[in-house]
Amino acid sequence: MKNFAPTIVLLLLAFLNGNAQQEKGIIGFNSWLNNWTEFKPNKTEYNEPNQILTGTIAVDLKLSKKNVYLLLGNIYDTNKAKLTIEPGTVIIGDAESKAALIITKGASIIAEGTETDPIVFTSNKAGDWGGILLLGDAPTNKFGNTSSVNFDLDVAFASYGGTNPNSNSGILRYVRIEYAGAKVKGLGNFDALFLGGVGNQTVIDNVMISYSGGDSFEVCGGEVNLNRLVSYKSSTNDFKFNYGAQVNIKNSLVIRASYLLSNSGSRCLYARSYDKKEEVKNKKKLTSV
């Protein structure tokens, strides 16, 4: 019996050491930040755009690494079209038109970069362009399950939410979104990445947002799994959740700068279940993160 207790203790310590939180990997021993992240985007130079993306996408479209694309104005992916982006593709958001990419309900984006060849959405300075909006048909806790995005978008393409928690808006993997979050007069700032009513079959994995003028990640309703996300020096909130969002976050990182602040408040994590109680239906899910 004298040897029994020490043996148990040693086994327990070995188990805890193998699964404990680590300095770089957060969970595990490998750094998931290697190769695909960029903490000095202003030092990175890209070629000038040679292709313009604007208007409405109504059929499947593929963006190629060999080109550099300029987003001009609000670009709507509609009509169940699939927008595919090759690894290593660079896409620049136009500042003057406050460009934004909106993946509407039923449409999808397949932006699947690699660890050594990420997809990059960028511009020149914080709040330069709008950002990326994924609008799905998973439930929210609002009346009728639906809501709409209010960033001066075409109302025909701005709605999100529905009844399908398993809906699929596509893949964002090994993607960097830099200098998004443009200000819209009278309406506040875009989010660098807005997920509205996004379902649990959508993949959001290894996404880095840098120098957003608005929130980095905002999730309104839906049911999403978020893995290996980085919010770097956002001016406003790093993670914002509302309207009954059901969210699991794993292995994610926030780095804030004390001199970057917003008049509306700047928080690492902001979660609520509604803005006004009369907007939501009783007995529907509250936000859970």
Percentage, residues of the chain above pLDDT 70:
88
Three-state SS sequence of 156-185: HHCEECCCCCCCCCEEEEEEEEECCCCEEC
Phi, psi of 192 (to 5 degrees): -60, -45
- As a whole number, the mean pLDDT across the chain is 88
Dihedrals phi, psi of 103, to nearest 5 degrees: -95, 105
Q: How would residue 18 be classed by pLDDT, with cut points 50, 70 and 90?
A: very low
Under the banding of pLDDT at 50, 70 and 90, the label for residue 118 is very high
Rounded to an integer, the average pLDDT of 216-223 is 96
| Phi, then psi, of 19 in degrees rounded to 5 | -120, 5
Cβ–Cβ under 8 Å, residues 200 and 173: no
| Residue 16 banded pLDDT, cuts 50, 70, 90 | very low
List of residues 6+ apart from 199 with CB closer than 8 A: 136, 137, 138, 164, 165, 166, 167, 168, 169, 222, 223, 224
Which amino acid type is present at position 107?
A: A
**β-bridge partners, 247:** 224
In the predicted model, what is the mean pLDDT of residues 246-270? 81
In tens, the pLDDT along 251-261 reads 899 998 876 66
**Both tokens of residue 239?**
């993670």
pLDDT at 185: 83
- Beta carbons of 192 and 131 less than 8 angstroms apart: yes
Residue 119: the pLDDT is: 98
Instruction: Over range 26-32, report the average pLDDT.
Output: 74
Between CA 262 and CA 52 the distance in angstroms is: 32
Please provide residue 50's backbone torsions phi and psi, each rounded to the nearest 5 degrees. Answer: -125, 0
Tens of pLDDT, residues 192-216: 999 999 999 999 999 999 999 999 9
Average pLDDT over residues 184-195: 90
Lowest mean pLDDT among 8-12, 201-205, 279-283, 284-288: 8-12
Confidence of residue 267 (pLDDT cuts 50, 70, 90): confident
122: Cβ–Cβ under 8 A, 6 or more apart, which residues?
41, 44, 46, 90, 91, 92, 93, 176, 177, 178, 179
Give the model confidence (pLDDT) of 135-169 as tens digits.
999 999 998 878 888 888 888 899 999 999 999 99
Instruction: Specify whether the backbone of 226 is left (phi greater than 0), alpha (psi in -120 to 50) or beta.
Output: beta
